[in-house]
Structure 1
Amino acid sequence: MSGGKGLGLAICEHIIKLHKGKIYAENNPKKGSTLSFIIPL
């Protein structure tokens, strides 16, 4: 079910980049998308 404005991922990406991290997305048509991120300590 979708109904948002599509800003969530963009906001997450911005916050992760501010922390010098990286975000990855992998699409799986049967299961949906998997999002991963790395933030250095």
Structure 2
Amino acid sequence: MPDLPYLALLGIAVGAVVALALALHRWLSREIEKEEREE
């Protein structure tokens, strides 16, 4: 079984990546909507 600190760091890293991906997805969706409205 891996060390607990390693698991904690891994969990934080995964959570940060997921949060970044969600934020980027929401931002991209907003930008796409803006482009569609302008036309």
| TM above 0.5 | no
Max Rg structure:
2
- TM-score, normalised via structure 2 length: 0.39
Higher helix share: 2
- TM-score, normalised via structure 1 length: 0.38
**Higher RCO, 1 or 2 (CA under 8 Å, sep at least 6)?**
1
Higher strand share: 1
